[in-house]
Amino acid sequence: MKIFSKKVSSNSSIITRLYISNPQDEESIMVKALWDTGCSESSISSSVVERLRLKPIGDLIKITSAVGYHWQHRYNVNLNFDNNTFIKNFTVLDLPPIDDIEFLIGMDIILKGRLLIENNRASFSFIVSENK
């Protein structure tokens, strides 16, 4: 099942829209998401946390990144591409401010399917098999 397919307008990054909802009340918003194969865990911006009124789960956890150690909260969210439910109650981390990016799609999501980048057509697809 193809979840998402899009023309790429930039040579250096893949940015798409993603619908995120609060599992508690199903309120959903559309955000700007960056597909980041160098990121092991997906992350959400503080502005999205506020808009969806998300509550942290558990204690702060210590994370190692390219810039060192820092402490982050975890949140549960539902994720949708073009309003097709993909993942329910998925755990994401706080996102350090990165320009206007509101969500980093990390390898924890990418490994749930196949990310195909077609250079000659300047497009990409994200495909998930029915049994995943």
10-61 confidence digits (pLDDT tens):
556 788 888 999 999 878 899 999 988 888 899 999 999 999 999 999 888 8
CA atoms within 13 A on the CB side of 96: 11
Nearest CA to 5 out of 13, 101, 14 is that of 14
Residue 10, pLDDT score: 54
For the chain, which domains are there? 15-115 (2.40.70.10)
51-101 confidence digits (pLDDT tens):
999 999 988 888 877 777 888 899 999 998 765 667 889 999 988 767 788
Residue 63, pLDDT score: 82
- What pTM was estimated for this model as a whole? 0.82
